Structure 1
């Protein structure tokens, strides 16, 4: 049984896989901070601070996030369209998973259009303005869209990995998906704890490292899903 193509359309599967792979690549653009000299400490700072309005490479990182979101959204919508007639059995799980992935893509694209105005974990003046409510409303909106993106990514990872294992399909995802989901959950807990510590004035608790691990695991999972979809046989 093929979970990725109800009509056996190999061409559609290749298109979905290509979109997912390119989306994973764009979603990993933050690794270029190692060579761009952003001036932000990757152990302490949010990944999204790379795209802040006052950062030297903000335009690039905002564009890469927008690209990643649109590519993943396109992949998920294409997959949903291919399984639109599914009404029962494993297809319900797959539809829910692709739907969550579409939401992740859309939220990521929106997130890129709601950048921070400054980097609060790196700039004490920015942190003080944020605490006093003197920053643009995009800070609050960005937090909301980022939270939605993370929740949708976790849901998609869990649902599609569960579908792969339950129905013995998408072999690469069935093998590695559970480990990636467990690591993603751990990285998310780390990030949330670090955010709470920072907001309480207790330091960053390596917030940047935790969030970068979180984002990296999503990209790896997207790549594994891409390989799984293109290798599946009807």
Structure 2
């Protein structure tokens, strides 16, 4: 929509949120009275959240690796068969390595909680869907901590008298799965309809959810009286959770890098871009003072040319007065 006034035409429209995208550099306008002639990037909206996003990205990247701590069972003697045992059996109350595996699970949960709270306080946490998704990740971390605080009393895969259903531990595991799938669904939705954009989450988030949920369903065999081979889908499910954390880490890191780039920390091709802007918007023409100087012995640019009559100096006079002899 445009409104026309005497001598002016301007467009009316919604003003963008200042934290949605890095703003266009504050390039001066030479047609306006009092315009600046020095390039000054806008730094306030872009640098405010870059540190939080970078920290959250690092935490989620570490959590993506630490969430698959179950790979250590192939190097340590646990006495459990990975094909027919739950991962939570590794830190059951009667297992010898419960402190090691329980500590790894708790550390991963704390990383997820801290990273989600940091991301929630950035533009990536604006909007209804994004807020719900990051808070769901906080719920996932709290449920994982409760898993460690309320562990299984025994390992049902190797102890015949041990039941697979431990009410408190089963409840905390159910909450962890609920919050995990809620975060995948809501953050994938936020990446599709809100800003700032998260293209990897928008593309791969629904696919990870579509595979992780059936894998989790295949692990309930022992809970309904049909044990066996439930360890394989559970470990595949945990691998997909690590992929989900890696996607979040990549998007948060990309956003932090872009904010720092727009804040004036230019590198690579952006240096040439800034230099081009400076040359265009300077008061003097581009290239003045940077090109080659006047040729030696020739007249200076802009100076008056000397005529033949003005060459009555010693050179010409010497040629005329030179006599024979």
Q: Sort the TM-score into its range (normalised by shorter chain).
A: 0.7 to 0.9
When you count helix as a share of all residues, which structure comes out higher? 1
The answer to whether the 8 Å contact 1:68/1:109 transfers is no
> Are positions 1:224 and 2:247 aligned together?
yes
The answer to whether the 8 Å contact 1:42/1:208 transfers is yes
The answer to whether the 8 Å contact 1:83/1:95 transfers is no
**Equivalent position of 1:74 in the other structure:** 114
Separation (CA, whole Å) in 1 of partners of 2:124 and 2:235: 35
Pairs within 5 Å for 1:80-99: 80-82=120-122, 86=126, 91-99=127-135
> Are positions 1:60 and 2:104 aligned together?
no
Choose from 180, 198, 204 the match for 2:208: 180
- How far off its partner does 1:20 sit? 1.0
**Equivalent position of 1:136 in the other structure:** none
The answer to whether the 8 Å contact 2:109/2:142 transfers is yes
The answer to whether the 8 Å contact 1:170/1:231 transfers is no
**Equivalent position of 2:188 in the other structure:** 161
- How far off its partner does 1:60 sit? 0.7
> Are positions 1:119 and 2:155 aligned together?
yes
CA-atom RMSD in angstroms? 2.1
Change (3 A) 1:31 1:145: same
> Are positions 1:142 and 2:179 aligned together?
no
Unaligned runs of 5+ in 1: 132-138
Change (3 A) 1:164 1:77: same
Separation (CA, whole Å) in 2 of partners of 1:29 and 1:211: 13
The superposition leaves residues 29-48 of structure 1 with CA deviations (integer Å, 9 ceiling, x where unpaired) of 11111111212111110110
- How far off its partner does 1:149 sit? 0.6
The superposition leaves residues 169-198 of structure 1 with CA deviations (integer Å, 9 ceiling, x where unpaired) of 122222221211111111122123x244xx
In the alignment of these two chains, the number of paired residues is 212
The superposition leaves residues 105-143 of structure 1 with CA deviations (integer Å, 9 ceiling, x where unpaired) of 11111211111121012210223xx67xxxxxxx32111
**Equivalent position of 1:39 in the other structure:** 79
The superposition leaves residues 193-221 of structure 1 with CA deviations (integer Å, 9 ceiling, x where unpaired) of x244xx32x332x1111111112211110
Secondary structure, aligned partner of 1:36: coil
Change (3 A) 1:85 1:112: closer
Separation (CA, whole Å) in 2 of partners of 1:73 and 1:46: 24
- How far off its partner does 1:77 sit? 1.4
- How far off its partner does 1:83 sit? 5.4
Secondary structure, aligned partner of 2:119: helix
Unaligned runs of 5+ in 2: 1-19, 22-44, 260-325
The superposition leaves residues 4-63 of structure 1 with CA deviations (integer Å, 9 ceiling, x where unpaired) of xxx641111001111111222221111111111212111110110011122221111100
Larger CA deviation: 24-33 vs 146-155: 24-33
TM-score, normalised by the number of residues in structure 2 = 0.61
Larger CA deviation: 211-220 vs 10-19: 211-220
